[in-house]
Amino acid sequence: MRELSGSGIYGNRIPKSGSSRAEPPRITREKTPFRTRRFAVSPSLSLLIVLVCTACLVLALSIGGSPIGSELQVNVTTAADQGAPSVAMTSGGEFAVVWESYGQDGDGYDIYARQYDSTGTPIATEFGVNINTTGDQRYPCADTDSDSNLMIVWQSPGDYWDGVGYSTLGVYILRFDSSGTSWNPSEQLANDQMAGDQFEPVIAVASNSKHVAVWTDSGQDGSGNGVFGKLFNQMGGRILNFQANTYITGSQSQPAIAMSDAGDFVVMWNSYAQDGDEGGICGQRFSSGGSVRGSEFLVNTHTSDDQNSPAVAIHSSGTFMAAWSSYGQDGDGYGIFGQRYDDAGTRLGSEFQVNTHIIGDQVKPSVSPGSNGSFLATWSSQGPGGNGFDVYAQQFDSDGSPIGSEFKVNSYVSGDQMDAVISADSLGNYVIAWSSADQDGDGLGIFCQRYDTVAIPEFGEALVPVTVTLLVFVVLMKRRSKKGKTES
């Protein structure tokens, strides 16, 4: 730690390489004439405690927010296209990336996955997920439980006769352990309704492995598409079926879901004309047992033109954040907007713009809970003059304020980088995955970038008595004296 111009307090994160950032950030909000004391911190601690004496001023920060290494190519097979990625990170930092691959098994699209340990090292090579390979298996979604079991859901053509007609598309689930071994010899059909199509599946998993799958169903509610789902117990047994949307006029589609560690969950979707003008974003909260909590609610406040592509993330406390694409709201094409809620479903503040760069289109957001009540968002942003898309991200603290500026995620910038998805561990370390055009030498490929913990004030800065401060530091760390001895 060192002081720069003025008398403010500055901090610097020293990575394993030993090189610090050239321009460290100011830690205190205002310049301060206080003297500083340096404290040694165990590398295992996730907090940096800054003590500014004589008063004393205490500030706690989570350490990090930097990319870990370079972006990684996920797919091993590079022929044709690999796209539509989904990513799931465990509380301990292990993660899995799932995607669709064209022609890899010789018959259309199929689902593949690859698992990584907490250092970003592949546990094994990529592996095929779906057992039925006839036709196209597409649009996977993945999530994990606290034991690193991986749940994957996707849509697949079916040939089920219910006495009325054949199902064209259905929703399937398969579970894998941390080594990539399937729990079941066959994939599980999620939907009971066979007529029409069941598609656009998403899945969310609680820490104890209870899980819920949600999808779009064509025609089941009698008026266009509707959003339906099924709640499963820890072993995959079916608890109940439900319809998420109450308003059924027109079409409800593009579902998104998030589930807390305790099993409470929230579903969001796009509803056409419900807000009075084209698409809008609606949501519904559910208890861990599948009971409806409150009424269906409209998420977007700005209702002009089109709002689509919802995403949602929830904290263990029950607070959740929604994000979506909104046309024309920022003055130039689509932009990304968000809204925070408390556990009771009450809005926390107003809807806010996620992206800072507004030229062109910003589309397809993905959000994840971070550490200490924070949220993380990623999306694809169009370059100047309508050129190419790149992946950007932004971090938000627990009160919804942006942490730093939005930043570009992808290093390779030729062509389009799209379909970005994000997931974080319990400390706020996170991974972003996306599809990239021609980077792997043939069509679309899947790439990802890891980041360490985002820097977030734990409880702000505050003047406290010296005696109280010393009690805090006796528990957390040891202070080094001027003579080099360690004092308790």
Tens-digit pLDDT profile for residues 19-50: 444 444 444 434 333 333 333 333 333 344 34
**Domain enclosing residue 3, as ranges:** 1-63+455-488
The reply to whether 315 and 211 lie within a common domain is yes
Same domain flag for 211 and 359: yes
Q: Are residues 370 and 486 in the same domain?
A: no
Residue 455 pLDDT class (50, 70, 90 cuts): very low
Same domain, 466 and 434: no
For residues 196 and 343, membership in a common domain is answered with yes
> What is the predicted pLDDT for the residue at 281?
99
What's the confidence (pLDDT) of residue 408? 96
Token pair, residue 185, equals 């010899």
**Do residue 351 and residue 409 come from a single domain?**
yes
Do residues 121 and 9 both lie within one domain? no
Average pLDDT over residues 470-476: 36
pLDDT over 90 (residue 318): yes
| pLDDT tens digits along 333-344 | 999 999 999 999
Looking at the fold, whether 58 and 96 belong to one and the same domain comes out as no
Tens digits of residue pLDDT in 227-282:
999 999 999 999 999 999 999 999 999 999 999 999 999 999 999 999 999 999 99
- Lowest mean pLDDT: which of 8-17, 142-151, 178-187, 229-238? 8-17
Count how many domains the chain has. Answer: 2
pLDDT confidence band for 385 (50 / 70 / 90): low
Asked whether residue 203 falls in the same domain as residue 94, the answer is: yes
pLDDT of residue 41: 36
Say yes or no to pLDDT of 474 above 90.
no
Question: Which pLDDT belongs to residue 304?
Answer: 97
- 257: domain CATH number is 2.120.10.10
Q: Count Cβ atoms below 10 Å from residue 55 Cβ, excluding itself.
A: 16
Phi, psi of 469 (to 5 degrees): -60, -45
Q: What is the pLDDT of residue 357?
A: 94
Q: Are residues 58 and 89 in the same domain?
A: no
Highest mean pLDDT of the ranges 60-64, 328-332, 465-469:
328-332
Q: Give me the amino acid identity at 487.
A: E
Q: Report DSSP letters for 162-187, one per residue.
A: -SS-BBSEEEEEEEE-TTS-BSSSSP
**Those residues with Cβ within 8 angstroms of residue 441's Cβ, 6 or more apart along the chain or in another chain:** 78
- What residue has token string 């546990």? 123
Q: What is the pLDDT of residue 367?
A: 99
pLDDT score, position 105: 86
Looking at the fold, whether 144 and 256 belong to one and the same domain comes out as yes
Does the pLDDT at position 62 exceed 80?
no
Cβ pair 353, 392 in contact under 8 A: no
pLDDT averaged over the chain? 83
In this model, does residue 53 exceed pLDDT 50? no
Give the Å distances, CA to CA, from 395 to 237, 343, 370, 374: 37, 21, 8, 8
- Same domain, yes or no: 387 and 464: no
Q: What is the pTM of this model?
A: 0.82
